[in-house]
Every structure is written in structure tokens, then in C-alpha cells.
């Protein structure tokens, strides 16, 4: 159950009963300090104006009309008219008992929507680099959370597998194959391959012309050229799949819907926009003028959909993708994860698509931007020599560093166990460090802080989980039917936190912000640690009913941690 939503519904009824207008805002939030109760309603002050009554009187009237006798201990009016809500421990115990008996931990499913999630989407001409890390893991966490909340998620890996840069790559590949090389070997390092092709393109007599020739041939569907292209794409896709596997993300071949897939639709898109008068010719190109996004002198933004030579653009493909996602996939929502520099492109694309009716009014188109990953110097993250960091190398380094860390800790783990733990801790650390930051801001990539066992990190959460598992290794089976006794404040706070998981997931689903889930899990683990310190479980002399209740709390904490980490794509461990 979503606690906040439950209370909100009650306040809605009460506020209606005292004659408030139907659109009255209902600001109800978690309290920031224990003395303000568990939740706080701050709507009485605004209502006072509408009802022409003193705010504290309004608050009192709301309280008089609230049917929460079973749920709350106390409702008190504070300051100018805040209503502090103190929930009742027995109600929390009852809710937690219900949640414990439920395979979904009491977390509700939303009314199903079809949600297209466009993420990762690397350009296949090059190797995946750190810039693709953010899109891949943030998109994946949001996709998994949406699914868990009951939505139909359609993953779309909008890979950049088309366009003029393929001309030079194919010309170069052709020569390598002619020289008896195998495609896999020639393309084993895409970065090098790209660089070589570029050097030839810039310097070698006649090569640029051949490259352009290849572009024309590719676009007209020349079979030999398509074969070459297919060869290139397949090697490059295999490279990205290796990264996906290491990263433990849920993208597969079936999710690939690259730019090339829209090639046959591009002419239709342009035709339609021309026929409806939305696009017009300008200096030989087909463009849409957007007065809505005019510059400060009043000149409309120019959105090009076809170049003067007839070539199509990234934008044209995105319009075709919108049509496909609307007509064929039936998307209610589309979420696209790219870095913030593409914000204007998506704003313009949405505007054009809405004018053209490619998007219905009730369909949303949500660009979910993210900031940059920075080095310690505050500049974009690069290798020592200043080149882009390959994602595969970064992940190998993470595992290596985690191995050293695990080896420093003394424990009876075997070598194999250590290796498997190191992989989970290393990859988990990299992913969590990214996911736990508000995605819209830049962040500094720092090995030491992400691999620390203290603070809001993956190792801290993974460790908290193993700590609970070790309790269960020391005791007999858990009594699932045992009643919950929430006498100590730490027990109450922990129970409440467990019950707030749904609220966190709801926000992740609405705002596409996994950091909310991370913050929640960190709070949960921290509350567990304080509970565990204050409320011994296996100590001699603890009454059986209390012990069982505490074991239930520990068990629900572990289950919630494991669910949350799973939705973030981070592995849990039994020991570490
Ligand atoms: N391939 C693009 C890039 O690497 C991202 C594509 C995002 N999706 C889209 N529908 N445009 O920047």
C-alpha cells in the first residue's frame, strides 16, 4: 500500500466535506523531524483564504472530518495551521504483517500503461564509452521499476547504426577484408578502426570520394554494400552486448530498433509534413519553422528534416520513431534517456510531432536528460592521456579495485567466492554511484567514495543485506506468522520506512529518477543499523515474541533491500 496516497485520500474526503473547492491542492508530505509526526499536511493555510476562516480553525475542521481513528495516535495542529500526523504503532504493525504475507511486499500495481523506454542507444560506429553508461543504467533502472509497478514496458535501443559516417567505415572495412582480414579481427578495437578510417578520409587521395560513394550505395540498398554494413553492425552490437552483460542490464537483441530500421519511413515523414504545410522548402532543404521557439529577435527556430542534397537527419528518424511508437507499439508514454545537450532537439521534435498529429494529446513524450560524468579535476571524464574512456575498460578496473578491497578484508572466503563478490561489488559500486545522484546534474566520478563501505554507496547496502542474512544463518527458521510488536521507537521508524517503499517507487516511475530509490534504500539500511544496535535480536534473555517480531522486521528489511537493489540492477550477496 502507498501510505502517503492512503492518507491523501482521507484528507481529500475531509477537505471536500468542509466545503473546499474540488481543485484544492493537498500538500501532504513526510515530516522532516520526529516531533512533527510521521506525515504533515500543510494545506490549511491556503484553504483559509478560500473559506475566509482563520487557518487554525480550518485545520481543526479538517481534523473533525477525518476518519483516521484506527490509523493515527494523534493529529495535532502546529504553528499557523500545520497538521502533524502521528501514526499508530498497531496500525503500522498490521500493515507490515500484511506486507510480509505478500509476495510483492504489499506494493501496489499501477493501472497499466504502455511505456516505451528509449535508452542506451549507442552509436555503433564507435566503441561504447562512459557517456553511454548513464543512459544505459538509468534507463534500465527506470524500465525495471515501471515493470514492477505493473506497466507494459517496451525497451527500445535506438542505436546509431546509419548515416554518412558509415561511408568511410565501410570503405575501410572493404579494404581490410580484401586484404584477407576477418571482420572480427579488423573490428576488434572499434576506436582504432574509426581513427584509421578518419585519417584515410582526411588524407588519402580518392578515399573520401569512395566513402561518399558507399553512403549512396548503402542508402539505395546495394546488396554488397548492405552485406558489408551488416558485418560491421553485427560485430559492433556484439561489443555492446558484452558491456550489457558485464553491467547486468536487461537489454537484449530483441530490444534493438536502430536508426536504420526507420530508413524506409523517412520519405513518408517528409511527404506528410509537406502535404500538411507544416514543412516548407528553404534554400533547397525541407524545414519546419517553429515560432514557439523563436530567438530573442523573434526569428523562429529552424528544424531541418531533409537536407538540400536529399539526405535525412537524426531529427527525421526521431519523427519516424514517434510514428512507429504511436501506431505500432501503442505507447502511452515515451521516455528517452540522453545527455542534457540534446534537450532542445527533443523539445523541437515533440513540437513538430504534435503539430503533425504524430503524437496524440494524451500521449506523453518525455526527454529525461542527464548531466556529465566528470573527472576529479571537474572536467569531462577522460583517460590520463586525454582520450575517451572505454566503458569496457572502466568496468574491468572496477572489478579489479573491488578485488583488492575484498582481499584486504580478512574472512574465510575462498578464492572463487572472492572473485564473484568482487565482480558484484565493483560493478554495483559504479552503477550505484551514478544512479544515486540526481540525474540532471553533473557528478564527479570517484573510485574511493563509490567503493567505500560507509555512506550512500552500493557496498554499504550490499553489506547491510549480508549482515541480515548472517542473522538468519545463526537462528532457526523465521516464524512468518508471528505478530509484530513495535514498542521501541527504532522499531516503529524501521517499520514505517519499510512501508514507504511504494512511495519511493511511485516517484521513480513518475519522474524517472532512480536516485529517489537509492536515497530510500540508504535511509532504510541506516535505520536498520540503528534498530539493530538498540534492539538486540538473538541475545540471551529476549522474549520469544519480541525476538520473532524483530526477526520479521529484519526479514522485511532484507527483502525490501533486495527488491530495491534488483530494480536498480545491482546484485545482492549472501556473504562478503
Ligand atoms: N545515439 C544517440 C547518441 O548516442 C542517442 C539516441 C537517443 N534516442 C533517440 N531516439 N534519439 O547520442
In this prediction, residue 482 carries a pLDDT of 80
3-state secondary structure of 194: helix
Domain boundaries, the chain: 3-87, 165-252
Closest CA relative to residue 356, chosen from 314, 322, 311, 310 = 322
- 301-329 residue pLDDT tens: 999 999 998 889 999 999 999 999 999 99
The domain made up of 3-87 has a fold known as Gyrase A; domain 2 (3.30.1360)
Residues 6+ apart with CB under 8 A from 217: 224, 225
Q: Which atom of ligand 1 is found nearest the CA of 346?
A: 11
**Is the CB of residue 117 below 6 angstroms from any atom belonging to ligand 1?**
no
**Which pLDDT score is estimated for 358?**
97
Query: Ligand 1 centre and the CA of 183: distance in Å?
Result: 26
- Ligand 1 centroid from CA 258, angstroms: 9
Give the H/E segment covering residue 350: helix 343-356
Answer for the pair 177, 183: CB distance below 8 angstroms, yes or no. Answer: yes
Grid coordinates belonging to 570: 545491482
Report whether pLDDT(60) > 90. yes
Question: Which atom of ligand 1 is nearest to 160's Cα?
Answer: 1
The residue whose CA is least distant from atom 9 of ligand 1 is 158
Confidence of residue 87 (pLDDT cuts 50, 70, 90): very high
The residue whose CA has the least distance to atom 5 of ligand 1 is 121
Tell me, in angstroms, the distance from the centre of ligand 1 to residue 153's CA. Answer: 19
Q: CA-to-CA distance for 542 and 496, rounded, in angstroms?
A: 23
pTM for the model: 0.95
In 187-307, which residue ranges form alpha helices assigned H by DSSP?
190-203, 207-219, 223-247, 266-275
* Per-residue model confidence as pLDDT tens digits over 145-191: 999 999 999 999 999 999 889 999 999 999 999 998 888 888 888 88
Amino acid at each position: 500500500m502507498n501510505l502517503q496516497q492512503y492518507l491523501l485520500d482521507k484528507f481529500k474526503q475531509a477537505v471536500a466535506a468542509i466545503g473546499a473547492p474540488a481543485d484544492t491542492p493537498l500538500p501532504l508530505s513526510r515530516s522532516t523531524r520526529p516531533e512533527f509526526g510521521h506525515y504533515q499536511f500543510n494545506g490549511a493555510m491556503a484553504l483559509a483564504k478560500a473559506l475566509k476562516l482563520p487557518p487554525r480553525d480550518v485545520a481543526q475542521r479538517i481534523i473533525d472530518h477525518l476518519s483516521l481513528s484506527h490509523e493515527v495516535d494523534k493529529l495535532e495542529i502546529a504553528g499557523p495551521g500545520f497538521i502533524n500526523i502521528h501514526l499508530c504503532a498497531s496500525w503500522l504493525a498490521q500493515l507490515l504483517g500484511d506486507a510480509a504475507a505478500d509476495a510483492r511486499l504489499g506494493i501496489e500495481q499501477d493501472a497499466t500503461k504502455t511505456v516505451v523506454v528509449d535508452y542506451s542507444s549507442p552509436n555503433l560506429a564507435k566503441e561504447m564509452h562512459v557517456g553511454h553508461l548513464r543512459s544505459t543504467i538509468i534507463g534500465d533502472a527506470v524500465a525495471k521499476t515501471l515493470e514492477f509497478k505493473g506497466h507494459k514496458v517496451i525497451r527500445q535501443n535506438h542505436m546509431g547504426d546509419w548515416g554518412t559516417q558509415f561511408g568511410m567505415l565501410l570503405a575501410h572495412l572493404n579494404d581490410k577484408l580484401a586484404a584477407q582480414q576477418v571482420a572480427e579481427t579488423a573490428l576488434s578495437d572499434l576506436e582504432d578502426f574509426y581513427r584509421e578510417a578518419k585519417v584515410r578520409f582526411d588524407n588519402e587521395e580518392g578515399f573520401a570520394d569512395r566513402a561518399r560513394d558507399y553512403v549512396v550505395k548503402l542508402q539505395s540498398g546495394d546488396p554488397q554494400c548492405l552485406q558489408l554494413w551488416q558485418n560491421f553492425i553485427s560485430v559492433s552490437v556484439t561489443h555492446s552486448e558484452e558491456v550489457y552483460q558485464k553491467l547486468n542490464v536487461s537489454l537484449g537483441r530483441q530490444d534493438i530498433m536502430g536508426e536504420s530500421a526507420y530508413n524506409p519511413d523517412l520519405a513518408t515523414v517528409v511527404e506528410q509534413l509537406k502535404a500538411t504545410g507544416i514543412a516548407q522548402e528553404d534554400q533547397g532543404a525541407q524545414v519546419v519553422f517553429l515560432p514557439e521557439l523563436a530567438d530573442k529577435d523573434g526569428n523562429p527556430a529552424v528544424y531541418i528534416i531533409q537536407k538540400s542534397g536529399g539526405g535525412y537527419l537524426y531529427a527525421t528518424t526521431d519523427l519516424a520513431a514517434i510514428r512507429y511508437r504511436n501506431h505500432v507499439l501503442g505507447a502511452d508514454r515515451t521516455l528517452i534517456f540522453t545527455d542534457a545537450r540534446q534537450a532542445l532537439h527533443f523539445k523541437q521534435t515533440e513540437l513538430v510531432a504534435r503539430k503533425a498529429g504524430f503524437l496524440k494529446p494524451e500521449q506523453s513524450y518525455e526527454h529525461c536528460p542527464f548531466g556529465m560524468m566528470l573527472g576529479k579535476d571537474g572536467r569531462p571524464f577522460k583517460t590520463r592521456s586525454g582520450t575517451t574512456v572505454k566503458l569496457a575498460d572502466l568496468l574491468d578496473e572496477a572489478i579489479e579495485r573491488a578485488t583488492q578491497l575484498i582481499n584486504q578484508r580478512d574472512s574465510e572466503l575462498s578464492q572463487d567466492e572472492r572473485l564473484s563478490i568482487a565482480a558484484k561489488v565493483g560493478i554495483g559500486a559504479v552503477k550505484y554511484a551514478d544512479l544515486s545522484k540526481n540525474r540532471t546534474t553533473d557528478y564527479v566520478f570517484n573510485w574511493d567514495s563509490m567503493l567505500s563501505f560507509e555512506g550512500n554507496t552500493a557496498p554499504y547496502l550490499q553489506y547491510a543485506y549480508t549482515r541480515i542474512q548472517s542473522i538468519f544463518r545463526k537462528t532457526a527458521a523465521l516464524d512468518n506468522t508471528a505478530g509484530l510488536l513495535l514498542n521501541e521507537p527504532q522499531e516503529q521508524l524501521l517499520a514505517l520506512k519499510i512501508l514507504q517503499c511504494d512511495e519511493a517507487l511511485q516517484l521513480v516511475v513518475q519522474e524517472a529518477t532512480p536516485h529517489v530509490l537509492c536515497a530510500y534504500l540508504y535511509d532504510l539500511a541506516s535505520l536498520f543499523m540503528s534498530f539493530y544496535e538498540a534492539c538486540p535480536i538473538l541475545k540471551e534473555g529476549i522474549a520469544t515474541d519480541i525476538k520473532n517480531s524483530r526477526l520479521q522486521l529484519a526479514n522485511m528489511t532484507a527483502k525490501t533491500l533486495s527488491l530495491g537493489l534488483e530494480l536498480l540492477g545491482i546484485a545482492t550477496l549472501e556473504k562478503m
